[in-house]
Structure 1
């Protein structure tokens, strides 16, 4: 078979959501020889051989079906654009992707967070931890998890889900702790703002690991019908992680805790800050996931933390390469 025919015969993977994880997932799958259809609300991104961009509304069944048609695997990496407004927005997004995967006869891989667990009884906590949400966002996530696996149990669609902790990494603008503003402060030797108690253990996921983890879930038979915590890159404190970033730049890597009362006060006039305040419990208790199920099942470990930090900062061997 000639190379062109071989490429055209490669399985197709459709990714709904081209944000900080979805786009990285597309690159991982392309590097593995799959064809990729990358779906977003906005305009198409950069072209690449084997990649097709589609723009549209996933809640429109005709568009969603067109995007999923012919796919062996469908990935849901979609999130509402407004963090303060999930109810009435997240449900139709999730159901739209699930419906398209079902009608296409594709495996469905869902990228998820940890909100459905609420406050875990102990840490680290694994995938069998009961879902006891203590926030409106957590209740919504738990509802969608139940819907997802109920559809699997009914035999409607083959599903798996990968759950990740708070992100950091290259091209990860929505990182709670290490977003572009925070990284600029580390480079300048200034303190980084953090929620809750920065000295408690808190897990952080490296976005390229999240993307690679989803690719495993989409291509390995062991993934079907199960939930997995994706590889965790950091299980220490938020302060310790910022200090490690500082060390890579020859800086102190200092951190400053944002008082809860300040978030409460600002939340009176800011719906986004009010939504963030609802989730601060995750930084007020030890909050670290157990990723051993994923690592043991697929033989994949998280990227070593210093390698992940250097890639995030754009440095090599502690020498600055990018400002």
Structure 2
């Protein structure tokens, strides 16, 4: 039985991908609920979304908020990413319990952490999942638990994409590694080894793919896995070039290119857990990893795809970088 009413719960709606999916579901005619910690009131209707006070770590909160839902978007992480390894699976189990109770479809933003060198450089949905890191092992177990949940009445859609970028500040390389949000872009960091390609995905495109897949969920397998091609930067220079073009088109100076300070990350990593995890993922900047979108195209007819310069411009505007250019130009005249 497939529950196809257009009521969705979004866990992680204050984040990048969760927020994009929430607003696109709303615009597609869905009734959207979002769980949020620390609200002053139990329920608040804002921007067409019903915000509900609750915590994704609390099963009762998730079960109550998901009543009557046909979809649960699991785009949530532990608060501040603290104790990620200990909390990410319990959070997922709360979502699974709610999806089983409601015969709902869980939508998960997947990662490439699940894969190792034996699956590189072109990833298909059926590639072996033999991860290289502890975080990758947890992601594999997470997806295994989701697949097992389909035998108990839940359904699952996984959409795997490259590194996110988009107009919402989030935990992504673009807004936290390449540039600095809220400031004019004077320099662009390049994390990749020279000549190594990298895959990027524009958040609104990823969200649109998720919404369109939900629209045809009754035609999908109970456990459906899709990869997006996104934007392929063949030699690791094209994203920086796009940022530079947009900055210059808005009257700014061409940003300087600099190497990402991996040496500093390595130096500080013994003292900061987040930096240790960052260092663990460096292999993804040293080896080209690309995803095949054949399955997605076969299902939807095409992949939602915003041209690179248009996507970068929207991202820089949303991050407050283009406004800073206008402000600096005004001060010099």
When normalised by structure 1's length, the TM-score is 0.86
Specify the alignment match of 1:27 in structure 2: 23
SS of 2:145's partner is: helix
Task: Give the distance between the partners of 2:55 and 2:309, measured in 1 at CA.
Answer: 39
SS of 1:226's partner is: strand
Task: Give the distance between the partners of 1:321 and 1:260, measured in 2 at CA.
Answer: 30
Note if 1:176 corresponds to 2:173.
Answer: yes
Specify the alignment match of 1:133 in structure 2: 131
Task: Between 131-140 and 212-221, report the one with greater CA deviation.
Answer: 212-221
Asked whether the 8 Å contact 1:210–1:231 carries over to 2, the reply is no
Cα deviation 1:144-163 (Å, max 9, x = unaligned): 111111221x2431112111
Which of 164, 178, 187 matches 2:161?
Answer: 164
Specify the alignment match of 1:48 in structure 2: 47
Note if 1:214 corresponds to 2:210.
Answer: yes
Q: Summarize the Cα distance change of 1:45–1:247 in structure 2 as closer, same or farther, 3 Å threshold.
A: farther
Specify the alignment match of 1:86 in structure 2: 84
Which of 308, 311, 323 matches 2:311?
Answer: 308
Cα deviation 1:128-180 (Å, max 9, x = unaligned): 2110111010000001111111221x243111211122111111332213449
When normalised by structure 2's length, the TM-score is 0.84
Specify the alignment match of 1:7 in structure 2: none
Specify the alignment match of 2:65 in structure 1: 67
Task: Give the distance between the partners of 1:238 and 1:116, measured in 2 at CA.
Answer: 22
Task: Give the distance between the partners of 1:46 and 1:69, measured in 2 at CA.
Answer: 17
Task: Give the distance between the partners of 2:38 and 2:236, measured in 1 at CA.
Answer: 34
Which of 201, 207, 217 matches 2:197?
Answer: 201
1:100 CA displacement: 0.9
Unaligned runs of 5+ in 2: 326-333
Task: Between 80-89 and 22-31, report the one with greater CA deviation.
Answer: 80-89
Q: Summarize the Cα distance change of 1:311–1:234 in structure 2 as closer, same or farther, 3 Å threshold.
A: farther
Task: Give the distance between the partners of 1:34 and 1:166, measured in 2 at CA.
Answer: 27
Asked whether the 8 Å contact 2:266–2:279 carries over to 1, the reply is yes
Asked whether the 8 Å contact 2:119–2:128 carries over to 1, the reply is no
SS of 1:21's partner is: helix
Unaligned runs of 5+ in 1: 1-9
Task: Give the distance between the partners of 1:169 and 1:158, measured in 2 at CA.
Answer: 28
Specify the alignment match of 1:14 in structure 2: 9
Asked whether the 8 Å contact 1:231–1:295 carries over to 2, the reply is no
Asked whether the 8 Å contact 2:124–2:291 carries over to 1, the reply is yes
1:185 CA displacement: 9.5
Q: Summarize the Cα distance change of 1:262–1:114 in structure 2 as closer, same or farther, 3 Å threshold.
A: same
Specify the alignment match of 1:297 in structure 2: 299
Task: Give the distance between the partners of 1:59 and 1:294, measured in 2 at CA.
Answer: 32
SS of 2:123's partner is: coil
Q: What pairs with 1:98-137 in structure 2 (closer than 5 Å)?
A: 98-137=96-135
Asked whether the 8 Å contact 1:118–1:132 carries over to 2, the reply is yes
Task: Give the distance between the partners of 2:273 and 2:110, measured in 1 at CA.
Answer: 23
1:253 CA displacement: 4.2
Asked whether the 8 Å contact 1:267–1:274 carries over to 2, the reply is yes
Task: Give the distance between the partners of 1:252 and 1:198, measured in 2 at CA.
Answer: 20
